[in-house]
Each structure stands twice: as C-alpha cells, then as structure tokens.
Amino acid sequence: MTTAWMLSFTWILPLLSAAALMAFPREGNAAARRFALAVNGANLALVAWLSVLFVLDPPRTAAGSAETVLAFVSDYAWFPALNIRYHAGVDAISMSLMFLAAVVVFCGTLASWNIGSRAREFFILLQVLAAGVFGSFISFDLFTFFVFNELTLIPTYLLVGMFGSGRKSYAAMKLNLMLMGGSALILLGILGLYFESGIRSFDILELSRIRFDDGFQLWAFPVLFLGFAVLGNMFPFHIWSPDGHASAPTAVSMFLAGVHMKLGGYGCLRVAMYLLPEGALAWMDVFLVLATAGVAWGAIVAVRQKDLKYMNAYSSVSHCGLVFLGLAALNLVGLRGAVMQMLAHGFITAAVFCIIGMIYSRTHTRMIPEMSGLMARMPFLSVSFIIAGLAALGLPGLAGFAAEVNVFLGGFAAARPLTVVCTSLAVMSIVATAIYVLRATNTILHGPPNASAQGVTDATWLERIPLALLLACIAAMGLFPGPIAHLLDQALLPILANLDR
C-alpha cells in the first residue's frame, strides 16, 4: 500500500514543487534551481528505490497469459459517472522508462544551472513537464494517461518558446501543433475503445480482455498508432522534432528527446498493439516500411547537418525508427529490442544533448565546421562526447548495441521477406551513423585548436555529475543487458500473447 502511494508520489512531488516554486520571489533564481535540484534528486532516489523493490520482487506473468500484472497498484474512482479511474501501477516496461525519466530530469536540472533570468519560471515549467511524463508512464487508465500526456503540452510550448534559441517561436508552435495533432488522433481512438468495448471502460487491463470487432480494429489501430507515432518521432511525422529539439534549451532537449518522445513508442506498444492486435497484424507492413524509411532517412540527413543539435535530432529520427522497426517485427525479440532501444536512445541522446549544451556554452557555436581541437582544451567533455557517440553507433559494450542487436535479430527472426529486407536496409544505415558520428568527433575534437577553442575550460564538477551518471547508465545497460531483457520479457509476454491469439 505504501509503495503504491510512493509510485503516485513520483508525479505528485514535481507538481507540488512547481506550486511551491510559484511562491518563490521573482528574483530568487538561485534558490529556485537549488530547490528544483533537491526535489528532482529526491524523486530520482524515490524512483531508484522503487526500481530496486521492483527488481527484487518483479510481478510474475503466468505462462501464455495475456494479463499484464502490475506492481505498486493503486486504483481509485475519479469521475465515477464516466467510469474514469485513477489506476496506477508499473510493469517492467513502465518501471524502466520511469527510471530513465528520473535520471534525465535530474541530469537536466544540473545541466540548466546557468539559466540566468527567469530561472524560477523555467523550473516551474520543467517540473510540470516531468510530472506529466511520470504520470503517463504509471497510468493504466486511458483517460488519465491522456490527461497526463497532454499536461506536457503547456510547459513544452513555453519552455521552447521562452527559453529556446534560434527560430524558437516557430519551432515551439510547430512542435506543439504536431503533438496536438497526434493527441487528437489518440483522443479519437480512445473514445472508440471506450464505446466499442461494450463495457464503457478506459482501463487498459480491462480493455485488453476484450476482443474488438475486426472492422473497428482496422480503422482504430492506425488512428491510435499514428497518434502515438507522431509523438514517437516516426517518419514522416518527425518534422517537428529537429526544429523543436534544436531550438529547445539543453535540459528541455534532453528531456523531450530522451524521455517525452518515448511516450510515443510506449503508447504504440501499450495501447495500440496490446489492445488492437488484429489491427496491428493487418497494418504492420505499412508501419514497417515507414520505420525503415525513418531509420535510413534520419541517418542520411544527419550526415548533411552542420549544426550539432540538428545532427543529433536527425540521429534521433533514425534511432526512433529502430524502435518502430522492433515493434513491427511482432515477436518477442523485436519488442524487447524496441523497449531496450527506447531506454538506450533515451540515455544516449540525453547525454549527447547535454554535452552539446555544455560545448555551446563555452564555444558559443554549435556549427561543426567552426570548431576544432576541443580535445586539448576540454578532455572530459570530449571523451564523454566520444563515448556517447560510439554508443549511438552501436559499439558493443554500450547500451546502443544491446538494443540494436535485439531489434535486428527480431527483424530477421520474423522470417517474412518484407521484414528481412527492411531489417537489412536498416542494418546498413549504421554505416551512415558511423559517418556522421565519427566525422563530427574528428572535426570538432581533433586537429589544431582554432578560435572556438580559445580560452575555453573543461566541465566543472557540477557539470560532470550529470554526464557521469548518464554514461554510467549507458555502460551498465551495455554490459548487463541480460537481466534487463529478462525483466522486460515478463512484461512483453502478455502483449505477445494478445498478438498471437
């Protein structure tokens, strides 16, 4: 019972802290960021502790059962007239994504230490954003899930618009309109699930027992899947993300690309595929092709980028394509790869955006050709950049490899011609990844130091903490993927059982 309360506390705490920050004096920027750090540190500790409890005693799924078993469950009526409930709990997928979210929020807080004016407003918005994401990951009632998911829209718009750089107003509007469009589809799909189920319920676990009419599944599945895929950065609905992520301030880029976007892949798996399996089987070829196109297109476009943030944003398009590729394999290995890819990409992209932000704050440029020889001046940041880059291109021993191997094995194991062809194409895109990662590394880190490297210093201790934490997570996941995969399988089996029925 107490653990159930603590799980809900992961979103209540950020929300309360946002309310508390409103009471801070308008000039109390330093106090605001210390307070935000304390709260997010506490929340990270809370999530870490819950994760430990979860790993020690994971909920077991009966063999062949399509029933998702949750830990730390709380279930209260919210709007009884509409049968809307607050049903919170976690399985291995949500728990691991919760951990990712907590780490990235904490690191993002540290990475935004130098926000000067309006830091109070910045952290208020960041806390609301975090609350929305935490709440989404633990909600097993579709209405509540939707509410939490939408709660992220308000702070995202203002964070990018007020604190961003470049064409921030354009980027913020584009990002929010696209996400809002995705949400519109999700809302339509959720209403369909609610009324077509015949039980007027939003509860994911109850709905998973219903076998929806095939005609309904055929139109509802693409609606829901596309709705989430917009958020999950699937080609060709990714167009909001490069502008959005490049314009956002560092912590927000880290959070949007690292965590928020994962809600898309998570929703595709948890809502669209779990509840509408027949629809998934019918439509997956379409999404398989789109996913492959995204993997290849993102990597190719990333090669052409000169702005580090745009390069990483397009690299995200490519890596999120791998998530959808894993989902489209429709087998255990592929689904496991998809979830692991979400985790791996979350840590890696957060680390890369974090480093880019720190480099930019020193060199005042993000353009690759304008930088050279940074390795000599800031060895810590440079080495971190190399590690994160190698993780992104899938070096064994780091997180990206563990995830990508599962995605690709899943694709080949599906043993259908289209899947195999698409997977082969996706494998080849790793070459493009290698090109842009190694070229960027080579250009900005090596060679003679130029004007950009004049008078710059290495990361301070405060800045090393988030990087060390993120890189530790990347390494841990790369070195010990087995236990993680084993845990995830328990949560994926019910989804797979539904797909196989």
Partner 1 sequence: MLVSFLPDLALLALVFLVLAADLSGEEGSRAYHAAWIGLTGISLLIIGMPFAGSFAGAGSGLYSAAEVSFAGYRTSPGILSWKLIFTLASLGTVLLSRPYFRDRGNFRGTLSKPGAFFALIVLCAFGMFTLVSARDLLVFYLGLELATLPLYALAAFQTRDADSVEAGSKLVLMGGFSSALTLFGLSLLFGVAGSLGFAALADAVRTVPNQPVLWGGVFFILGGLGFKLAMAPFHMWAPDVYQGAPTPVMAFLSVASKAAAVAALALLFFGPLDGLRPVLEGFFAAAAVLSMAVGNLGAMRQRDLRRFVAYSSVAQVGYMLLALLGEPAEAKIALQYNLIVYGVSGFALYFIMGVVGRDGPENLSSLRGLSRRSPGLAALLLLSMFSLAGIPPLAGFLGKFLLFSVAAAEGRYLLVGCAVAMAVVSFYYYMLLVKEAYITESGETAVAAGAPIILGTGRALAVWGLAMLLLLLGVVPMAADWLTARAG
- Token duo for residue 130: 């975090």
Pick the piece of the chain touching partner 1 (CB under 8 A) from 186-194, 312-320, 414-422, 448-456.
186-194
Q: Work out which of 24, 78, 380, 412 binds partner 1, going by CB under 8 A.
A: 78
On the 0-12 / 13-18 / 19+ scale of CB atoms within 10 A, 402 is buried
Task: Return the residues of window 82-101 that contact partner 1 according to CB under 8 A.
Answer: 82
Helical residues (DSSP H) of 364-416, grouped into ranges = 374-377, 379-392, 399-413
Position 308 contacts partner 1 (CB under 8 A): no
Q: Which is nearer to partner 1, 157 or 408 (CB)?
A: 157
Write the interaction track for partner 1 spanning residues 202-241; mark x where CB under 8 A is met and - where it is not: -----------------x----------------------
How many residues line the site for partner 1 (CB under 8 A)?
A: 33
Position 166 contacts partner 1 (CB under 8 A): no
* Cα-to-chain-centroid distance, residue 325: 16
Position 191 contacts partner 1 (CB under 8 A): yes
**Is the CB of residue 266 less than 8 Å from the CB of residue 137?**
yes
Return phi, psi of residue 69, to 5°: -105, 130
Q: Work out which of 38, 45, 180, 199 binds partner 1, going by CB under 8 A.
A: 180
Position 67 contacts partner 1 (CB under 8 A): no
Q: Return d(Cα 5, Cα 461) in angstroms, integer.
A: 35
Position 185 contacts partner 1 (CB under 8 A): yes
Q: Work out which of 2, 25, 26, 60 binds partner 1, going by CB under 8 A.
A: 26
Min dist. Cβ of residue 408 to partner 1 (A): 36
Position 187 contacts partner 1 (CB under 8 A): yes
Q: Which is nearer to partner 1, 184 or 462 (CB)?
A: 184
**Is the CB of residue 192 less than 8 Å from the CB of residue 159?**
no
Q: Please, what is the angle between helix 332-363 and helix 399-413, to 10°?
A: 150
Q: Bridge partners of 353?
A: none
Q: Work out which of 21, 172, 434, 470 binds partner 1, going by CB under 8 A.
A: 172
Cβ–Cβ contacts within 10 Å for residue 369, how many? Answer: 9
Closest-CA residue to 477 (of 355, 343, 302): 343
Q: Return d(Cα 190, Cα 421) in angstroms, integer.
A: 34
- Token duo for residue 257: 């690309």
Q: Please, what is the angle between helix 461-479 and helix 399-413, to 10°?
A: 30
Write the interaction track for partner 1 spanning residues 122-161; mark x where CB under 8 A is met and - where it is not: ------------------------xx--xx-xx--xx--x
Q: Return d(Cα 248, Cα 232) in angstroms, integer.
A: 17
Min dist. Cβ of residue 260 to partner 1 (A): 16
Residues of the shown chain interacting with partner 1 in the complex, contacts defined by CB under 8 A? 26, 78-82, 146-147, 150-151, 153-154, 157-158, 161-162, 168-169, 172-173, 176-177, 180-181, 184-185, 187-188, 191-192, 194-195, 219
